[in-house]
Amino acid sequence: MGNENPDSTELDVSVTAPQDESLTTPIETANEILAIEVSTSDIGLNVLGTLTNGGKRKVLLKNPVTGELGSYFEGDRIDIISSEPVKVVEISKCVILIERSGNFETMECNNKMPTVVFNGPGALSKYKIVRRGHNDSSILSHKFITDYDKDIMTVSAKHDVDPYLVKAVIKAESNFDPGAVSPKNAQGIMQLIPETASDYGVDNPFDAKENMDGGVEYLSDLLNYFDGDLKLSLAAYNAGKGAVIKHGFSIPPYPETTEYITKVLGYYKILKSRNYTQKNSLALKK
């Protein structure tokens, strides 16, 4: 947190909205896609691959304990596990979104880097997901996302960083709370520790614009230093550049750091998907 230690098939990534009316409600703005809270699944299944055949998307899963295999379409229930009901919500490019107990989780192919540029329009972009049994007024954190979008675009352009990556980092770091302080004294909307804030000229870490300017510049420097490697750059942002160097220019074996990288990339994928959908929809209308 701001230098804190701690067969011939065509794959695609279009998204299908859940059909359970208690889980979905229309949205109007692209940025509200961050109302979806997504975590990495610990369900213990292996994603062998995803494919598109005849216009339908399918994921191949394996239970490593029983050796049982299963193939599922979006909306299917996974039957090779004996835990609570698990539903396949979205099938993407070697990434799937599942739902269990009202929570949304991602699973990825074990041998594939996360995909951050989606290849097709997504129906999920028309919805935001709410907790089962709750009404529209309890939609997950959908109002915070409108406050800083303009500032994020401005500061990202200034430091030549993808604004969707910046937004994903802020979401993971502070959930857009400019007054956030971590147990390790990381401060503000991008959770800069005092030393990093000082290095990047941030006098008031609780000023959102000032904190973002320093944080995005720092993130830009890390991306340049690690030749654009997202995972290493995010690891350095969370655990410190020194920790990444110390571990041979690899991700430090800190659970917090690995979880942080997964979380940020998860948000980033969602944002990139929504952005692609918007652009594609506009192009089709022309």
Distances (CA, A) of 215 to 44, 67, 167, 266: 35, 46, 11, 20
- Of 174, 144, 152, nearest in space to 264 by CA: 174
173 is catalytic: yes
Q: Among residues 264, 101, 283, which one has the least CA distance to residue 171?
A: 264
CB 36 within 8 A of CB 24: no
What's the CA gap between 135 and 117, in Å, rounded?
32
Catalytic residue from among 4, 32, 173, 210: 173
Q: Are 21 and 258 in contact (CB under 8 A)?
A: no
CA dist., res. 275 & res. 280, Å (int): 9
Q: Which residues are catalytic?
A: 173
